[in-house]
Amino acid sequence: MKISDSLCWSFVWLLAVGTSAAQAAGNPKAGQAIASQCAACHGVKGLATLPSAPNLAGQSLQYLDEQLKLYRSGKRQNETMVLMAKPLTDQQIEDLAAWYNSIPIQIAP
C-alpha cells in the first residue's frame, strides 16, 4: 500500500514537472507579434536599426531570457529597456526569446 502510494505521487510529480516545462517553452510566432514593439530599435528581423541598440537575431535563448528578466527586475539598468521589459510576463519573455533566437543569421569573415 505504502509503496504504491509513493509511486503514485512520483507519477503526479513527473506529470506536473513535464507540464510546466512544456508551458515554459516559448512560441516564436507569439514572440514575433510582441516584437512589433521592439522593432523601432531592434529591427523587424532583429537587426538593430538604432545605432545604440544591439542586434538580437540568432542570439541564444538563455541569454535573451536572462537579460529581459534582469531588465524587468531592474538588476540590469537601462532606462529604455527597463521600461520595455517591466510589463512583460514570463511567457511573453520566453516567446520573445524564442522569436529572436529563431531568426537565422549568417556571419562572414
- What residues line the site for ligand HEC (CB under 6 A)? 37-38, 40-42, 50, 52-54, 56, 64, 67-68, 78, 80-81, 84, 96
Contact 60, 26 (CB under 8 A): no
Length of the chain: 109
Q: Which three cell numbers stand for residue 67?
A: 537579460
Q: How far is the CB of 52 from ligand HEC (least distance, A)?
A: 5
- Pick the closest to residue 37 from 76, 75, 90, 93 (CA basis): 93
Q: How far is the CB of 73 from ligand HEC (least distance, A)?
A: 14
Q: How far is the CB of 102 from ligand HEC (least distance, A)?
A: 14
